[in-house]
Amino acid sequence: MSITGPAAMHSVFVYGSLMADDVVQLLLNRVPRTASAILPDFHRFSIKGRVYPAILPAEADKVPGKVLFGITDDELYILDEFEDIDYERKNVQVLLTDSSEKLQTKTYIWANKDDPDLYGTWEFEEWKQLHMEGFLKMTKEFAEEIKATRNLRHD
């Protein structure tokens, strides 16, 4: 706890590998409260040569996903590092599926709007079957690496 009061809590709309609780658990050491949501006026693309998706604005389209609630500054840092420089963290408005309530939240948008490697539509269920196992292994290594570098910084 900092002297300035409780840490800010964030909500983050996720639409790819972070929809899998196992991936979130490896990164954050917990699974936060979630709610199903839709991001209107965006499209979820597949990316050539990669197993995770990208989103970009697209009128009259929508991206299904979920919102992670109660994300701390530390956890947001981990998510930022995980998403890397290919993505930009932006504020967006999503619709919560259960209540149709609108919510301002953060999400990660593909930085290169004109990327020729984006194509089609990325499907979560297909990813779970084909790529989740290998992705979990990579995520575990990433999580161990980021914890090691953060421990060095805090000593």
* Residue positions annotated with a catalytic role: 83
Tokens of 106: 């953060």
d(CA 94, CA 11): 11
Q: Which residues contact 147 (CB under 8 A, 6 or more apart)?
A: none
Q: According to DSSP H, which parts of the chain are helical?
A: 21-28, 73-83, 124-130, 132-154
On whether the CB atoms of residues 9 and 75 are closer than 8 A, the answer is: no
